[in-house]
Amino acid sequence: MSATTVSGRHASGKPVVSDRAKAETRLGQRLVAPAIILMLLVTAFPMLRAIYLSTFDYALTAPEDREFLGLSNYLTALTDPLFWQTTGVTVLYMVVTVAVELVIGFIFAMVMHRVIFARGLIRTSILIPYGIITVVSGFAWQFAFSFQNGFVNGWLPFIGDDFNWFGETTPAVIAIMVSEIWKTTPFMSLLLLAGLAQVSEDMLEAAKVDGATWWQRLTKVILPNMRAAIMVAVLFRALDAYRIFDNIFVMTAGAQKTESISFLTYRQTIEQFQLGMGSALSVLLFLSVLLVAYLIVKLFRVDLAQARQEA
- Residues at the site binding another protein, with contacts judged by CB under 8 A: 57, 60-63, 76-77, 80, 82-83, 147-148, 162, 164, 166-168, 253-256, 264, 267-268, 270-274, 277, 281
Element (DSSP H or E) covering residue 56: strand 56-57
- CA gyration radius for the chain? 25
Q: In the bound complex, what is the minimum distance in angstroms from residue 227's beta carbon to another protein?
A: 39
109's CB contacts (< 8 A; 6+ apart) are: 189, 190, 192, 193, 195, 196
Q: What is the dihedral of CA 214, 220, 224, 230, to 10 degrees?
A: 30
Whether residue 222 contacts residue 205, with contact meaning beta carbons closer than 8 Å, is answered with no
Q: In the bound complex, what is the minimum distance in angstroms from residue 297's beta carbon to another protein?
A: 30
In the complex with another protein, the residue whose CB is nearer, 109 or 250, is 250
In the complex with another protein, the residue whose CB is nearer, 106 or 145, is 145
Q: In the bound complex, what is the minimum distance in angstroms from residue 244's beta carbon to another protein?
A: 18
In the complex with another protein, the residue whose CB is nearer, 186 or 276, is 276
Largest CA distance in the chain: 87
Hey, how many other C-beta atoms are within 10 angstroms of the C-beta on 279? 25
In the complex with another protein, the residue whose CB is nearer, 19 or 57, is 57
Q: In the bound complex, what is the minimum distance in angstroms from residue 29's beta carbon to another protein?
A: 34
Q: In the bound complex, what is the minimum distance in angstroms from residue 145's beta carbon to another protein?
A: 11
Strand partners, 68: 56
In the complex with another protein, the residue whose CB is nearer, 281 or 296, is 281
- Round to whole Å and give the CA distance between 291 and 297: 10
In the complex with another protein, the residue whose CB is nearer, 73 or 189, is 73
Burial of 162 (0-12, 13-18, 19+ CB in 10 A): exposed
In the complex with another protein, the residue whose CB is nearer, 7 or 72, is 72
- Round to whole Å and give the CA distance between 14 and 62: 60
DSSP summary character for residue 168: S
Q: In the bound complex, what is the minimum distance in angstroms from residue 147's beta carbon to another protein?
A: 6
Q: In the bound complex, what is the minimum distance in angstroms from residue 154's beta carbon to another protein?
A: 15
- Round to whole Å and give the CA distance between 98 and 233: 9
In the complex with another protein, the residue whose CB is nearer, 102 or 261, is 261
DSSP summary character for residue 68: E
Q: How many CA atoms lie within 13 A of 255 on its CB side?
A: 10
Q: In the bound complex, what is the minimum distance in angstroms from residue 186's beta carbon to another protein?
A: 30
